Amino acid sequence: MPLEGGPYVVWNATPVEWDTSEARKPPRNWANRWTPHCDLIFTDDNGGRHRTNINVRSSDTVDHRLVFWTGELTRGTEFGKRIISALESERFKDLGYYENPPPLDFLHDGFLDIRKGTIRDTNLPGHNDDVTDALDVFFDANSDEFKRSTVFIWGERYSNSGGGLHQVHMNQGNYKRNPKWYKENGRGQDGGIVIKWPDGKYTYFFIAFAAQASDTDDQGNPKSGNDTKMLRDYIGAQPPVIGTRPVVPGQPDTVKIHSALVNPVGADNTPGHHDRVRVVNRTADPISLDGWTIRNQDGGLKQLPDVLLPGNGAMADLDVGPEAYLANRRDGEIVLKDAGGTEVHRVSYNAADVSEGKWISFPDL
């Protein structure tokens, strides 16, 4: 299989601790490359404590959010019957990791309704409104049942030791714009988590990245290449709202163009490689972007989605292509207008400032 770091396994274990400290920290910076994890610490019959790293944010600059599916697993479906029968077989009676496990293939098992996936950010204020909150609910680590349950974790065992595993997410559908991940594509090697609770009930939590493909070929690559819809578009999700930035006294109270990805990695103006504009709400109140537009240097206009942008520095990451593509071989301009057609903010940049895959930031004036 394409996973290169270690073998694809399922680890049969006893959970002992659920650690969200990294995910709950404020981001070190505001670049999309911040990729925190939550950690599940567990034990098995071989002794010692082991760890699995669970992604709660992607470093893909197209969309950093995650999609997940969670619920009860029963023998009432063919998938549930296959998985439960395997996990309750003699082969898995001892706690430890097992190579060549019953495979998971989210897009082709026929179990998950992909369109019903929930798309969430990493760490937002409030309750049950981000993927970390959803994992908290799933593990219920403060309950008496948590340490009396059995957890089955599919993923890639770390090659340098038996101390844990990672890749506990969908491992197919990565686009060529991310060459490292593209090389890891494969069918029947998705990571995931199933818990058997003390009362015998099974529950599952399966994760994918919003910017992965919604359909794949026999090799696990996007079925129609760059024309394959990303999961976030297949689900019909709104663009991501990014964490807030501190509002500095003296900055204007309005929505501003914060930065732009003028030249994404990959072929210009193809699905998954559209130019992007990030806007920031400097007011104290939420603002709907319904009816707002972005205009490019040539008059091309992009109608923005109905995103409710929280106040106090919250940001939204918006796809503007191909309608309002941004010039990357000549000087460019970006104009933001509200629903009434009033110009709210205008920025410009020089061709010399453009680098492939790099965001251009605009100062708050």
53-104 confidence digits (pLDDT tens) = 999 888 887 788 899 999 999 999 999 999 999 999 999 999 999 999 999 9
Lookup: tokens for 169: 């997410």
Calculate what percentage of the chain has a pLDDT beyond 70: 90
Residue 123 has pLDDT above 70, yes or no: no
How far apart (Å, rounded) are the C-alpha atoms in residues 254 and 242? 17
DSSP state at residue 213: B
The pLDDT of residue 346 is above 80: yes
Q: How far apart, in whole angstroms, are the C-alpha atoms of residue 95 and residue 273?
A: 44
pLDDT tens digits for range 309-320: 888 788 888 989
What would you report as the CA-atom Rg of the chain, rounded to the nearest whole angstrom? 22
Spatial neighbors of 74 by CB under 8 A, at least 6 apart, are 80, 84, 202
- The Cα–Cα gap between 216 and 162 comes to 31
Domains and CATH numbers, the chain: 8-235 (no CATH), 241-361 (2.60.40)
Q: Which tokens in the block code for residue 206?
A: 């399966």
Residue 198 has pLDDT above 70, yes or no: yes
The yes-or-no verdict on residue 32 having pLDDT over 50 is no
Confidence tier at 46 by pLDDT (50, 70, 90): confident
Alpha carbon distances (Å) from 250 to 47, 187, 311, 364, 365 = 58, 53, 16, 10, 9
Question: Rounded to two decimals, what is the model's pTM?
Answer: 0.74
Please choose, from the candidates 349, 261, 304, 355, the residue with its C-alpha nearest in 3D space to the C-alpha of residue 61.
261
Mean pLDDT of 217-231: 92
Among 151, 163, 198, 138, which residue's Cα sits nearest to residue 14? 151
pLDDT in tens, 257-308: 999 999 887 777 776 678 999 999 888 888 999 999 999 999 999 999 888 8
d(CA 85, CA 255): 55
- Which of 305, 302, 278, 294 is closest to 343 using CA atoms? 294
pLDDT greater than 70 at residue 340: yes
Q: Using CA atoms, how far apart are residues 60 and 65, in angstroms rounded to an integer? A: 9
Instruction: List the one residue out of 180, 196, 357, 332 whose CA is nearest residue 263.
Output: 357
Omega within 30 of 0 (cis) for the link into 322? yes
